[in-house]
Amino acid sequence: MTQSAPSFDLSLLDPILFDHAPGGRAHLLPTLLEAQRLYGHIPEPVAEAIGRALRVPLADIYGVLEFYTMLYSQPAGRRIVRVCISPMCSRLGGESAVEVAAHHLGLHPGQVSADGEWMVEGAPCLGLCDMAPAALVGDVPVGQIEPASPERWVDAPSAAGLGRVGGDPRWLTGRCGQQRPEDVKAYIGSGGFAGLHRALQEPPATIIEEVKRAGLVGRGGAAFPTATKWEMAATAPGEARYIVCNADESEPGTFKDRVLLEGDPLMVLEGMTLAGYAVGARHGYLYVRGEYPRAQEILRRAIVAAAEAGYLGVDILGSGYSFDIELRSGAGAYICGEETALFESIEGKRGFPRLKPPYPTTHGLFGAPTVINNVETLAAAAWIVANGADAYRSIGTKESPGSKLFCVSGDVAEAGVYEVPYGTTLGALLRLAGGVRGDLKAVLLGGAAGAFAGPDQLDLPMSFEGLLAAGLPLGSGVVAAFNQDSDLRETLLSLARFFAHESCGKCFPCQLGTQRQLELVGKIAERRARAEDIESLEDVGFTMTNASLCGLGMTAASAIVSAARRWPELVLDGRG
């Protein structure tokens, strides 16, 4: 006797399809996420109904379901415990916490409980590196979990706070944690929306020129001149234009954007709106990683509050300019931090990077001229337009003006986001975080895609030119400290696992290279690497760097190779 397939009440799906069907394929990801919240996963009848309503082939829907780690085509727990296994969390027991939490619930990792309530799995990074080890229990972010005591954080999770924010000056982080994030009146009272008020009284070209004089560059890692990007999009042919805020902050060690989104979301919305005015865009997308449910909820409230106060929507402040922002959630894919992969995701596709050229400023989202900026970049733009380029240039260095948010984590007394002028030394930054616990062994700069500095480099100026001279990246501002008790071999293995897991598979150099790199680093971790293995590691890194399609593959080997070169004894015989 064969079992009949379970039936699903598809009428429950009707309100979701009513909202999203007019948007067609571009609404596929939000439709899938909402349907999954309803049914627990995306069963075949639901996938078929979504395909019919949005006019998307079923094969394409399953391609999307298989691509994103937070979408499930098979039954998943109504409450999923995601334990972070990124380098920062793994070294503090993240890997073991997955097993222990599953055992506590009578499960194996990835197994669904009999009542359909629970499932436990590892997550590549949760953006809670300042609170490591961390977990996401349902939609509740939990910091500093005790891996051996899952009953304390699985059964009754206590939400982690915003995290430590410090430094001087506090231009971009001054309001974080000081007021309700969606309180428009409080935001205005502390100087908020002054930049937008000024922008709407000036010609768009004047706003672009002010940002250009300030010398603002992208804060997501690429450091492309912001005003140049705006200018290119503003002058590109085409009727429609878009502003996209890249809040898919998935780089292990990076959590600054989370702090801004949760602590001062209105500043990010202001930056998006004045950017839209500067380039002539009427619509913006704020793409937030799926692992940030709290940030998404705060942003929803902030968008509504800004619109009700007249700072978003039709005829903003009576200026004749209209701009709206649509919040979009990712679904678990590091590659979507790459700008063109993010466009593909918004368009309802797998997050594969596009070939460039053409570039986003002429052929971006939906083929239209698009400005895509990082969260911190947009917040800085709002500050610059409000206070002027000269004020921004009053600190920092000539080549790196202004302030920067650094994500300090690892073996420091007080991990957190620290805002300091460019040019502040590495040692001073670590001292702001309370200093290193124990004797310093290494500092990972730039994140998983960065490189290692040694304890002899504490005088390094944290600026683009200062780090470039030392052959080190500034990246997104990661500063992860490791003391002498740390096993860097395990950290390198964790980095290699991360990239092997996150490679999208579109290009062979990265797909195969990250797997081969993982094999070789596995030998290092097991203390059985030979000289020829190190040569192979260099060869694999060279190939990925020079032949990969996007930045993931181009930087997947950088931190690992930098460690192998700096500490050859570490990789050859396990000392260090």
SS3 575: coil
Question: Is it the case that residue 573 has pLDDT exceeding 90?
Answer: no
pLDDT tens for 106-120 read 999 999 999 999 999
Amino acid at 539: D
pLDDT digits (tens, 9 = 90+) for 250-295: 999 999 999 999 999 999 999 999 999 999 999 999 999 999 999 9
Supply the pLDDT for residue 571: 82
Confidence of residue 313 (pLDDT cuts 50, 70, 90): very high
Q: Compute the C-alpha angle 244/249/255, nearest 5°.
A: 130
User: Quick one: average pLDDT of 461-472?
Assistant: 96
> Mean pLDDT over all residues of the chain?
95
Residues whose CB is less than 8 angstroms from the CB of residue 235 and which lie 6 or more positions away in sequence, other chains included? none
Average pLDDT of 321-328?
98
Residues 324, 303: Cα–Cα separation, whole Å? 9
Q: Which residue has the tokens 């009949």?
A: 4
What tokens appear for 15 in the block?
């309100």
Distance from C-alpha of 341 to C-alpha of 329, rounded to nearest angstrom: 14
CA quadruple 19, 24, 25, 27: dihedral, nearest 10: -20
Q: What is the DSSP string of 176-229?
A: TTTS-TT-HHHHHHTTTTHHHHHHTTS-HHHHHHHHHHHT-B-SSSS--BHHHH
pLDDT of res. 540: 96
Q: pLDDT value at position 576? A: 41
Can you give the pLDDT at residue 6? 65
- Cα 417 off chain centre by: 15
- Distance CA(280)–CA(333), nearest Å, equals 30
pLDDT, one tens digit per residue, over 335-387 is 999 999 999 999 999 999 999 999 999 999 999 999 999 999 999 999 999 99
Distances (CA, A) of 299 to 262, 290, 483: 8, 13, 37
Sign for the pseudo-dihedral over CA of 519, 132, 183, 389: negative
Long-range contacts of 94-99 (CB under 8 A, 24+ apart): 94/122, 94/132, 94/133, 94/134, 94/147, 95/122, 96/147, 96/148, 97/133, 97/135, 97/145, 97/147, 97/150, 98/122
Domains and their CATH numbers in the chain: 10-67 (no CATH), 80-152 (3.40.30.10), 165-392 (3.40.50.11540), 403-481 (3.10.20.600), 488-573 (1.20.1440.230)
Mean of pLDDT values over 320-329: 98
Angle (CA) 307 313 317, round 5°: 80
pLDDT band at residue 186, thresholds of 50, 70 and 90?
A: very high
Q: Which residue has the tokens 């990250």?
A: 514
pLDDT (average), residues 399-425: 98
Asked whether 50 and 39 are in contact (CB, 8 A), the reply is no
Q: Per-residue pLDDT for 240 more than 60?
A: yes
Could you report the per-residue pLDDT of 482-536, keeping only the tens digit for each?
999 999 999 999 999 999 999 999 999 999 999 999 999 999 999 998 889 989 9
Cβ atoms of 35 and 46 within 8 Å: the answer is yes
Using pLDDT thresholds of 50, 70 and 90, give the confidence band for residue 3.
Answer: very low
User: pLDDT tens across 136-157, in order?
Assistant: 999 999 999 999 999 999 999 9
- The answer, as to whether pTM is greater than 0.85, is yes
Q: What length does the chain have?
A: 576
CB under 8 Å to 66, separation ≥6 — which residues?
73
Give pLDDT, residue 222.
86
Q: Which of 372, 431, 447, 436 is nearest to 221 (CA)?
A: 447
Closest CA to 228 of 279, 172, 194: 279
CB 286 within 8 A of CB 328: yes
pLDDT for residue 292: 98
CA dist 534 and 36 (Å) reads 45
Integer distance in angstroms from the first to the last C-alpha of the chain? Answer: 63
Give the pLDDT score at 569: 86
Share of residues in the chain with pLDDT > 90 (%): 95
Sheet holding 283-288, edge to edge: 324-329, 283-288, 242-247, 370-374
- Residue 91, pLDDT above cutoff 70: yes
Q: What is the pLDDT of residue 200?
A: 98
- Going through 7-78 in order, the beta strands assigned E by DSSP cover none
- Residues 396-415, mean pLDDT to the nearest whole number: 97
